[in-house]
Amino acid sequence: MEFQKTPGWLDWCAAPSKPQFKVPAGSVDAHCHVFGPGGPFPYAPERKYTPCDASKAQLYALRDHLGFARNVVVQATCHGADNRAMVDALMHSGGKARGVATARRSVTDRELQELHASGVRGVRFNFVRRLVDFTPKDELIEIASRIASLGWHVVVYFEAVDLPELWDFFSALPTTVVVDHMGRPDVSKPVDGPEFELFIKFMREYPNVWSKVSCPERLSVTGPKALNGERAAYRDVVPFAKRIVETFSDRALWGTDWPHPNLKDHMPDDGLLVDFIPHIATTAGLQRKLLVDNPMRLYWPEEARA
């Protein structure tokens, strides 16, 4: 099936640079997606955007290019609750990818078992209005309690301004809760201002809450421009991500977000995104927790170091 991309859609960077930062052995890209391809894996009728295709082979080629060992493939909203493209990517990863699915109340126990067998370890609840029509919270609570018994976690995606309204719902979830992209702070505001402090308080009060320190390219106002010719982009996001990595070193994850849906201004060079890591995780110990120990504990607990 042919799909027409959303007007103005930016395709992923076809020739990313080689990062200067060498990630530790066994590093996990804990947030990325596959899109279709739309022929075998059609996009969902209820989708809010139609992307370019971005296949599992292209994702795994990027993993190797950047020096990563494993991926966590997160179901993208353009596929709705049809997890087949994501599951197909997991099944063809040789055990090097795990997944996060989208589930509806109608999902059967057998389907959940099949998703588990393919490598799914979580479900994603999305509260970003431009991406999804909201699922009622009672349905989400029901799904969360069903997946808790499989040892899965819940990934949540929301905008910082919505945290106060979502606080009680998130704190009632019975699983580990992983927040996408630091809860999307407005990085033009101070890192110690009330908005980001609320997110820090949220993580402090609830030890089951983790955060991905991903997507500087989405959050940055200053953008990808280098400083003094250094490979140092998205500098305005550094204080926010660094604070989480240093304050909650055992609960932070990092991911590329390839193929970077819905970017309007520029498409990041994935090599440059990897070179962002040593600015937010400034010691070898923090880098190892962020890229290896934490994601292994969450997604491959059977192989994780004690």
- Give the residue numbers marked as catalytic: 257
- Specify the 3-state DSSP secondary structure of 209: strand
* Per-position DSSP letters for 127-183, written without gaps between them: --TTT-PPPPHHHHHHHHHHHHTTT-EEEEE--GGGHHHHHHHHHT-SS-EEEGGGG
Rg (CA), the chain: 18
Nearer to ligand 0GY, 17 or 262 (CB): 262
Nearer to ligand 0GY, 77 or 175 (CB): 77
What is the 3-state secondary structure of 93-132?
CCCCEEEEECCCCCCCHHHHHHHHHHCEEEEEEECCCCCC
Nearer to ligand 0GY, 137 or 218 (CB): 218
Nearer to ligand 0GY, 33 or 235 (CB): 33
Q: How near is the Cβ of 25 to ligand 0GY at its closest, in Å?
A: 26
Q: How near is the Cβ of 231 to ligand 0GY at its closest, in Å?
A: 23
Q: Give me 100's structure tokens.
A: 């996060």
Cα separation, 153 vs 113, in Å, equals 15
Q: How near is the Cβ of 52 to ligand 0GY at its closest, in Å?
A: 13
Q: How near is the Cβ of 49 to ligand 0GY at its closest, in Å?
A: 7
Nearest alpha-carbon partner for 266 in 216, 214, 212: 216
Distances (CA, A) of 246 to 6, 26, 250: 39, 21, 9
Cα separation, 52 vs 41, in Å, equals 13
Q: How near is the Cβ of 86 to ligand 0GY at its closest, in Å?
A: 11
Q: How near is the Cβ of 240 to ligand 0GY at its closest, in Å?
A: 16
Nearer to ligand 0GY, 180 or 270 (CB): 180
Cα separation, 210 vs 178, in Å, equals 5
What residues line the site for ligand 0GY (CB under 6 A)?
Answer: 33, 76-78, 131, 180, 218, 257, 261-262
Tell me the backbone φ, ψ of residue 29, rounded to 5 degrees: -85, 100
* Cross-strand partners of 210: 178
Nearer to ligand 0GY, 255 or 288 (CB): 255
Edge-to-edge strands of the sheet including 153-157? 28-32, 70-74, 97-101, 120-126, 153-157, 177-179, 209-212, 252-253
